[in-house]
Structure 1
């Protein structure tokens, strides 16, 4: 089955759908570095199908220029890398994007040139509560990004997929006093799609991170057998099977500012979580194990926070910024954002949410090893987001961290994708509108739709 990924970012959601057996027709993304990341990932999949991994690993080791890697992929599968469309989606660009997607569809075998699914969610900064707090409600509500769902609907009208998957932050629920969700629902209904909205935590999908998100699933109105799939999530007990330490313990220690070059890497033992998740599969080289530099004052703060946790701190009694010695407090505001420093606790079953702000500083993501006293490396952040070690991020460190923080965790995407695939194949189970699973979120005008669906 074919899919289009809109607002694709670094391809985290797409990674999950690809692993579940879907075929990407096109990825549309405005960030150039993220587009290169997706192209490089497509190169991996192309070589993976041929069981010829050497060119990819040579690229990771710096022995093969990216241009030569891409030229090789063009020879093997012409036009594959052209499926990554580096454009901002809008009124002016939409038709050109349609034309490029249509060209990709023509490359497919006859009889398989339809789009079964559209995935992706518009940039979430507009809907985030943090964004409104920082820039002001009026500024964010007038942000043109808040209307990108209208562009999403145009793709539904054009390609008529049987279903769509739309991911975003919980702040969408309260945006414009809750009216935004109703506007989205009405727009999609006009496009010919019913939808259901539920809140999920990435922990439920095997990601070692507490990350709450809205997952909107829509289906074409002329497909009455479809609905919101019952995802294959983990039980509360299963979520306690692994700890964050299993994500971090095998990686070599780093000093602040140290960059581990791409080198052969085969740990003596692979932790149970790395085995279960598959994050270490087929990767004889570790990349992006880069640590940002830190001031000595920040390293001293890190030491105090790590010591406090190691002395018996818990998630509800973490050390706060305003509890630091006076000579280490540099911010005038001592009452807001008192959790701006936070240890990624190795003995917990999940970390705090990884967000794009990690690209600006690492204070909220302190490595638990007191000997290292640094923030997480790029690779460590990627692992928390469940990206496999052979997933390479293009661009400078800041861009790589931003891509990681904005991504949908691939493990979460894969479990969603498997359920969507079953639904499209007519063998899936569906959640009824009155089901509490996934914390169902209704819009103000949703009651009649829910009743109609229940009937």
Structure 2
């Protein structure tokens, strides 16, 4: 699946702009590859985690930055990446985006044709009443804006990498169409990209110990050639055949794919419990199946986890009848949920609503393979994600906050308004998922 030039880097100094950056999944992936990144994130809680992790961040609304502060972005940025909020397109969300797919496809084409942003925004506002549906257009708007930005002197992004739930594949297909046809540059110039086949990938096929599907768009400027999709490294989990798939070596040649990774393998050690979670155990899904909300699926420690969502701290962990484990908590901890997402065991989750932060994140291991393929870089060893994360000192944290919020002690005037932000709490309840509409934000 990878391109022939997958180990021939074409960018001298790649630098990633991560839109809708969340708590840092793609940034951790970039760190593994030795590539710097700058994240833009609206949610204050996720920014707290990012500052604690030492990740450069703007606490800002992606749309506002595009309209009012684009010239302030570093001109050296060469890679546009991100995953727009997916709740209105996710099967677990309210479905507004799925119902509006045809109209949003039209807006993608209108943007490239030069229809005024304000006109499109007005039409979007009248479409379904959910402003998140419009955010899927932001990466394209950023790509077009770069071509008319004085600070960048019209320089386009060399690489575009986007990920979303499978429900957005139809929109990524239109993205592919318009990127290959060309974006409007200055003086009639047309900037064309070459785009890999838009494909839905299984994260467990890249070593992530959970079943999660993400649809990927990978594009490079035409001069750099078409990117190749990341080749799988592990077997895909088959729910109806949950036994582990293995391959035997042949004539001394190792198997092509490794076995998928189980929960029990990775939950042996966490920051707060060095002994880890003892096996055997079973985890109960948050969601019903077969149309019955009470019919919850169950997986054992010998299987990968269900998709980690914003309700992950509600996942019940059953002790095996054969072995009582008194010291293990009956729910997944935030550190354990982060490990299932392939964050390092001691990743410094901070702020409130930590379950939602974890569930919204891109699995760093999966992100690493995607970025490596897009940038034609060699991937890093998976083991590095099981090592300690350096984090930030108090002084570094204050510096990052000043750069991201304008104030080393808190939010500044450019930050999203406090009333629009989730309330952070230092209490034990701060990591519990919210209910109602907030709890539906589950599969990004």
- Specify the TM-score bucket, using the shorter chain as the normaliser: 0.5 to 0.7
Tell me if 1:27 matches 2:31. Answer: no
**2:410 matched to which residue of 1?**
none
Q: Which residue, out of 240, 243, 261, partners 2:262? A: 243
Distance 2:342 2:335 in 1: 10
Q: CA deviation at 1:373?
A: 6.8
Over 3 Å counting, the alpha-carbon distance change for 1:228 and 1:319 in structure 2 is closer
Q: Which residue, out of 333, 342, 346, partners 1:377? A: 333
Provide Cα deviations, 1:389-416, integer angstroms capped at 9, x if missing partner: 12111112xx111010011111111122
Tell me if 1:4 matches 2:23. Answer: no
Q: Which residue, out of 308, 314, 317, partners 1:367? A: 317
Provide Cα deviations, 1:45-97, integer angstroms capped at 9, x if missing partner: xxxxxxxxxxxxxxxxxxxxxxxxxxxxxxxxxxxxxx41111122x441434
Distance 1:227 1:321 in 2: 38
Tell me if 1:37 matches 2:28. Answer: no
Bigger fraction of residues in helix: 1
SS at structure 1 position matched to 2:376: helix
* Structure 1 residue ranges, 4+ long, deviating more than 6 angstroms after superposition: 318-322
Q: CA deviation at 1:244?
A: 1.5
Provide Cα deviations, 1:166-200, integer angstroms capped at 9, x if missing partner: 00001113xxxx4x344433443443334231111
Contact 1:4/1:27 (8 A) holds in 2: yes
Over 3 Å counting, the alpha-carbon distance change for 1:147 and 1:221 in structure 2 is farther
**1:214 matched to which residue of 2?**
215
Distance 1:409 1:122 in 2: 15
Over 3 Å counting, the alpha-carbon distance change for 1:408 and 1:32 in structure 2 is same
- TM-score under structure 1 length normalisation: 0.57
Aligned 1:222-237 pairs, distance under 5 A: 222-223=223-224, 225-231=225-231, 233-235=233-235, 237=246
Contact 2:372/2:378 (8 A) holds in 1: no
* Structure 2: gaps of 5 or more residues: 1-13, 101-125, 147-154, 184-191, 237-245, 247-256, 380-444
Tell me if 1:337 matches 2:293. Answer: yes
Q: CA deviation at 1:203?
A: 0.5
Q: CA deviation at 1:142?
A: 5.2
SS at structure 2 position matched to 1:129: coil
**1:96 matched to which residue of 2?**
68
* Structure 1: gaps of 5 or more residues: 44-82, 106-113, 252-261, 272-305, 323-333, 426-455
- TM-score under structure 2 length normalisation: 0.58
Contact 1:203/1:239 (8 A) holds in 2: no
Tell me if 1:347 matches 2:334. Answer: no
SS at structure 2 position matched to 1:218: strand
**1:149 matched to which residue of 2?**
136
Over 3 Å counting, the alpha-carbon distance change for 1:140 and 1:171 in structure 2 is farther
Tell me if 1:115 matches 2:77. Answer: yes
Over 3 Å counting, the alpha-carbon distance change for 1:11 and 1:128 in structure 2 is same
Tell me if 1:18 matches 2:21. Answer: no
Contact 1:162/1:219 (8 A) holds in 2: yes
**2:312 matched to which residue of 1?**
358
Distance 2:260 2:173 in 1: 39
Distance 1:117 1:40 in 2: 24
**2:86 matched to which residue of 1?**
124
Provide Cα deviations, 1:326-372, integer angstroms capped at 9, x if missing partner: xxxxxxxx953233x44452122x1111112336xx1xx22242555
Over 3 Å counting, the alpha-carbon distance change for 1:213 and 1:147 in structure 2 is same
Contact 1:163/1:219 (8 A) holds in 2: yes
Q: CA deviation at 1:235?
A: 4.3
Distance 1:414 1:167 in 2: 13
Over 3 Å counting, the alpha-carbon distance change for 1:218 and 1:94 in structure 2 is same
Distance 2:42 2:274 in 1: 36
Q: CA deviation at 1:230?
A: 3.9
CA RMSD of aligned residues (A): 3.6
Provide Cα deviations, 1:225-264, integer angstroms capped at 9, x if missing partner: 232344352245345364311223445xxxxxxxxxx86x
Distance 2:23 2:140 in 1: 22
Over 3 Å counting, the alpha-carbon distance change for 1:346 and 1:266 in structure 2 is closer
Over 3 Å counting, the alpha-carbon distance change for 1:319 and 1:168 in structure 2 is closer
Tell me the number of residue pairs that the alignment of Structure 1 and Structure 2 aligns.
295
SS at structure 2 position matched to 1:337: strand
Provide Cα deviations, 1:288-344, integer angstroms capped at 9, x if missing partner: xxxxxxxxxxxxxxxxxx7xx79xxxx9xx99979xxxxxxxxxxx953233x4445
Distance 2:16 2:288 in 1: 46
